[in-house]
Amino acid sequence: MTLALHTLMWAWDPFEDVLQYTEELGIPALDLGALPSCGHLRLPTGDGLRQQCDDLLAQLPDGARFLAVTADHHGLSSSDPTARRAGIAYTLEAMQAAEMLGAGVVGTSLGNIGEGRDWTEAAQYAVATLGEVMERAPEAIRLAIEVHVDDVCNSLVKALHFIRGVDHPRLGVAFDTSLLLHNRIDIDEAFDALGDRCFHVHLRGATHETYFAIPGRDEVDFPRFFRRLREADYSGALSLELYGVQEQYGMTTLEALKEAIPYVRAAGARPQEPQTHA
């Protein structure tokens, strides 16, 4: 497991500025945002993808690396065939970018359910589009569906529906600590159901009032979460993403991270073995 910083925390900042933050925080591993609101990786670009990836890699300082790419596309569950085709193309290009960048996983969400929308229909479309994505995806890259809020995938039952429906070994889930709490999903139940398919992790604090909290000022049981990750032999990224901290706490993202990082590291530390004395 490797602690990483989600570049979506600085979606409006140039990528070179993001690298300065990583240097100041001492965390050179990155989860690269590829959403329309984040300009660090623009998708879809077709023939320009290789150049974008080469430019990003050229900016990385020694020792820095990409561990994941986040590329949500709500067209994956849309009833509109044009939107579904766009979602497939977007997700495939994100997976190609991940391969070029040396990242092992792409995280995605399936989109909000929406007013009056039939979940069964949306789920049927999502299973079909995800199946096509996995058939055409690079063999080295896994896809992780995030269990999100008000989403087509917002519960363990629904996550299991997609994993079983698509039935592909490189399709799994992304567990977000804040969204598990917000969706009232017990950590042990989550790992008992899908621990072997946990391919990506987002770390964020949450209370029962908000899922925009700083770890350490929240109600997430991080030590239990990390214990279950170890039991599942999870070896991927621990992607820190702190949004809304300016409004919630009156502090910058950088200040919030400087507070959260020591807490998260302490919570994830293995218990020391009892000392023996001669």
* Domain of residue 9, CATH code: 3.20.20.150
Those residues with Cβ within 8 angstroms of residue 201's Cβ, 6 or more apart along the chain or in another chain = 1, 174, 175, 176, 177, 229, 234, 236, 237, 238, 239
Task: Please report, rounded to a whole number, the percentage of residues in the chain having pLDDT higher than 90.
Answer: 82
Residue 116 has pLDDT above 80, yes or no: no
For residue 195, tell me if it sits in a domain. yes
pLDDT of residue 278: 36
If residue 232 lies in a helix (H) or strand (E), which one and from where to where?
none
Residue recorded with tokens 């969706």: 183
Distance CA 159, CA 226 (A): 21
Res. 54 pLDDT band, cuts 50 70 90: very high
* The pLDDT value given to residue 115: 60
In this structure, are residues 200 and 144 in contact, taking their beta carbons and an 8 Å threshold?
Answer: yes
Please state which of the ranges 33-37, 202-206, 251-255 shows the lowest mean pLDDT: 33-37
Distances (CA, A) of 10 to 20, 75, 239: 11, 25, 14
Number of domains in the chain: 1
Q: What is the pLDDT of residues 59-84, one digit of tens each?
A: 999 999 999 999 999 899 998 999 99
Question: Which pLDDT tens digit goes with each residue over 129-149?
Answer: 999 999 999 999 999 999 998
| 51 within a domain of the structure (yes/no) | yes
pTM exceeding 0.85: yes
Show the beta-strand stretches assigned E in 46-181.
65-70, 105-108, 142-146, 171-176
With 0-12 / 13-18 / 19 or more C-beta atoms within 10 angstroms meaning exposed / middle / buried, residue 19 is: middle
22 band by pLDDT with thresholds 50, 70 and 90: very high
| Burial class of residue 82 (count of CB atoms within 10 Å of its CB; 0-12, 13-18, 19+) | exposed
Q: Does some domain include residue 176?
A: yes
Task: Flag whether 277 is in a domain.
Answer: no
Average pLDDT over residues 184-194: 97
Residue 114 reports pLDDT greater than 70? no
Residue 273 lies in a domain: no
Query: Where does the pLDDT of residue 270 fall: very low under 50, low under 70, confident under 90, or very high at 90 and above?
Result: low
Question: What six digits make up the tokens of 34?
Answer: 């590829």
Evaluate if residue 274 carries a pLDDT over 60. Answer: no
Domain contains 156: yes
Report DSSP state, residue 76.
Answer: G
Query: How far, in whole angstroms, is CA 215 from its chain's centroid?
Result: 17
Domain encompassing residue 229:
2-268
pLDDT of 200 over the 90 cut = yes
230-264 pLDDT per residue, tens:
999 999 999 999 987 778 889 999 999 999 999 99
Beta strands in 40-110 (DSSP E): 65-70, 105-108
Query: Per the domain annotation, does 82 fall within a domain?
Result: yes
In a domain, 64, yes or no: yes
Residue with tokens 């770890």: 215
pLDDT at 47: 81
